[in-house]
Amino acid sequence: MLFMDTLVVAGTGKAIVKGTGKSTEIGKIARALEEIVEEQTRFHREIASLSNIIGKAVAVLVAIIACVVLFLHNAQPIEALIFSISLAVAAIPEGLPAVVTISLALATRKMLKQKSLVRKLPVIESLGSVDVICTDKTGTITENKMAVQEIYCNGEYLGAEEAREKAKKSEGIAELLFCGMAANDTMQGKSEGGKKTFNGEPTELALAIFAASAGISAEGVKRLREIPFSSQRKRMSVVAEMGGKVISYSKGAPEVILESCTHALLEGKKAKLDEKTRKQILGADAGMASKALRVLAFAKKELRGANGDEAESGMIFLGLQGMIDPPRSEVAGAIAIAKQAGIRVIMLTGDNKLTAKAIAGKIGIMGRVIGGEELEKMPKDEFGRAVGECNIFARVTPGQKFSILKALKAKGFSVAMTGDGVNDAPALKEADVGIAMGIRGSDVAKEASDIVLLDDNFATIVEAVRHGRGVFDNIQKFVFFMLSHNLAEVLVVFIASLAKAMAFTPVMLLWINLVTDGLPAIALGSDEPAANVMNRPPRKKNEEIVNGKSIRLMLTIGSIITAILLAIFFSYLPKGLALAQTVTFTAIVFYELMFISVIKRQEGISIFANKWIVAAVAASMLLQLAVLYTPAAAWFGVVALGLNEWLVIISGGALSYLLNTIAMKMMGQGKTLAAAG
């Protein structure tokens, strides 16, 4: 069978076209990808919703204040308009898009250094809310470095070293190892020193290297045709000519190979394969699989010709070879971190149930194992229950992976899914976070994914989740910081205007917006993830960036700042409007900058831990001082402040810092703003 998008290396032949375009296998996958509608991420929907709410609220407040300025202050319409526009600019957190982009970009850069290539920026935050990771076993959880560790031949188990020695004397062992080399797509070559080298897929590579180490060679074997492996067939066969005979060599899942055998090779002699021997072989398979070995069975058959249909029936069973693909050393620790973070890890593998359970046990994934055949027979409701409870799935096909993903999403889980093959593409696109393998992944899988793992390592996924959570925390801190103080600005202006006084001029409002909502606020987006970010569960699907608790806290902090600023403004108003405005104007800038330290303290982190925040705060303070003590003062309508005014500002700042800290502790803010939900 020829498949579209595969390469013909050499040769000629005739073929009957069964389908073209979307009727081909690759076409079916392409059609499946087209049918999957990519939705806007939950995070983007939340940002859009928040922006809409803020916009409407600011529009109402600005309209009210404009009316107050126009009618109570007897201002000209153009003056009221300018003031209203300035207040609107100051009240709206227009730095939010910049912070979101900067936070995502910085996280992308850090993740790339840790071998995660982000293809779609918004997915970083989606990673932070993932509560299920569905991962392949081979190469992601394991090292993808297979080596034959044990064989079963002539009714006995042999370790790799013993098998090598006995292969020189035992025809049965030699035939078993030769079959592993013949039914194999590994390419053989020679190094510069003349030593044999092999290049191919890890499982086949292990078989070829093991056979070669026992002195077995496939020279003189002329390959005639191949019946390729598929996840449905669970086997592959090669028809070859050797010594004037045409022989079919086959390898695959023990239960599948055994089903096609009528005889077994025992001590070099062909013997009838009775029920007792079959049970012994299946028992040997189970025993090897329980040691976390990946077990393959091998069989052969002499044919009359190369083109018959009987190449995979009536075969002679040769034996079993068990290979070990050890778990990566860091995976068990990464899975423990994932569990601690409230993330469920599900292992999906093509191996049998015993091998899957043994490997899963080594890395800390426990529980029931369900096989692909069981899933196939399950009614829809039972399938849903199984997916909701089971963490280990064996002998699953790409189609079943997709069904498992759909069932998890239907239950409300946020799912990250790994994949490497062309058939995995639909599942990667459907997942909340699709993660393709960079080393062994197909181009189609990478194109359908959101993230590519450059090292194919599960531990890299957990590290990416940490950065995703950090991004959400940073954006939440920014929103909290901005809205708390923007509220104070609006309240101060509104209450002062009711007393027929103007707390800030339009230029002052715009300047406050620049020096506090600019660099310092954006610098919050560069914070590293908090130390405890993986000690808490993923945020719930209904948890908003701004929730009930954070709104109450913002109102409290905004009110504290407003009360202190109004006290300062009205105490200095009898001494002149310019002085009152200058002191209040300077106070609000310094109080907003000081509040960053309050936020950082609640995280248990010093403000000096982030050099960008320190630089941004210092720059904003210097700019404010420049406004007060340079010719720029005339442009802003401010006056130089003396020692008494500075003592008042500092005293008010100390009170603000104390009351804000108490408010955050009393309202259960905990170590991070992310705990607000």
Q: Is 274 a catalytic residue?
A: no
Question: Hey, what CATH topology would domain 147-324 get?
Answer: Calcium-transporting ATPase, cytoplasmic domain N (3.40.1110)
Q: In what order do the strands lie in the sheet with 415-419?
A: 116-118, 451-453, 433-437, 415-419, 132-136, 344-348, 392-394, 369-371
- Residue 470 carries which side chain, given as an amino acid letter? G
Q: What's the pLDDT tens digit per position in 25-77?
A: 666 665 555 555 566 666 666 777 777 777 777 777 777 777 776 666 666 67
Check residue 423 and give its pLDDT: 83
Q: Average per-residue pLDDT in the chain?
A: 85
* Bridge partners (DSSP) listed for residue 537: none
- Main-chain dihedrals φ then ψ at residue 341, nearest 5 degrees: -85, 5
* Cβ atoms of 119 and 297 closer than 8 Å: no
Check residue 486 and give its pLDDT: 82
Check residue 672 and give its pLDDT: 45
Q: How far apart are CA 214 and CA 361, in angstroms?
A: 32
Q: Which residues contact 592 (CB under 8 A, 6 or more apart)?
A: 481, 485, 512, 516, 520
Does domain 42-115+470-676 correspond to CATH entry 3.40.50.300? no
Instruction: Please give the CATH number for the structural domain made up of 129-143+328-456.
Output: 3.40.50.1000
For residue 340, name the pLDDT band (cuts at 50, 70, 90).
very high
Res. 650: pLDDT tops 90: yes
Q: What's the pLDDT tens digit per position in 473-505?
A: 888 888 888 888 888 888 888 888 887 788 888
- Main-chain dihedrals φ then ψ at residue 157, nearest 5 degrees: -90, 140
Check residue 677 and give its pLDDT: 40
Check residue 379 and give its pLDDT: 92
Domain residue ranges of the chain, discontinuous segments joined by +: 1-35, 42-115+470-676, 129-143+328-456, 147-324
Residue 549: both structure tokens together: 């608790």
> Average pLDDT in the 193-219 region?
86
Q: What's the pLDDT tens digit per position in 116-142?
A: 999 988 888 788 889 999 999 988 999
* Bridge partners (DSSP) listed for residue 239: 225, 248
- Residue 93 carries which side chain, given as an amino acid letter? P
Res. 264: pLDDT tops 90: yes
> Average pLDDT in the 392-421 region?
91
Percent of the chain with pLDDT over 90: 43
H helix or E strand, kind and range, residue 324: strand 315-324
Q: What's the pLDDT tens digit per position in 582-623?
A: 999 999 999 988 888 888 877 777 778 888 889 999 999 999
* Cβ atoms of 447 and 438 closer than 8 Å: no
Check residue 675 and give its pLDDT: 46
- Vertex 227: Cα angle to 247 and 355 (nearest 5): 100
Q: What's the pLDDT tens digit per position in 151-162?
A: 999 889 999 999
Res. 507: pLDDT tops 80: yes
Q: How far apart are CA 613 and CA 527, in angstroms?
A: 9
> Average pLDDT in the 187-203 region?
76
Q: What's the pLDDT tens digit per position in 165-174?
A: 999 888 899 9
Residue 449: both structure tokens together: 């994914």
Catalytic residue among 131, 136, 351, 527: 136
122 by Cβ neighbours in 10 Å (0-12 / 13-18 / 19+) ranks as middle
Check residue 64 and give its pLDDT: 77
Q: How far apart are CA 170 and CA 215, in angstroms?
A: 13
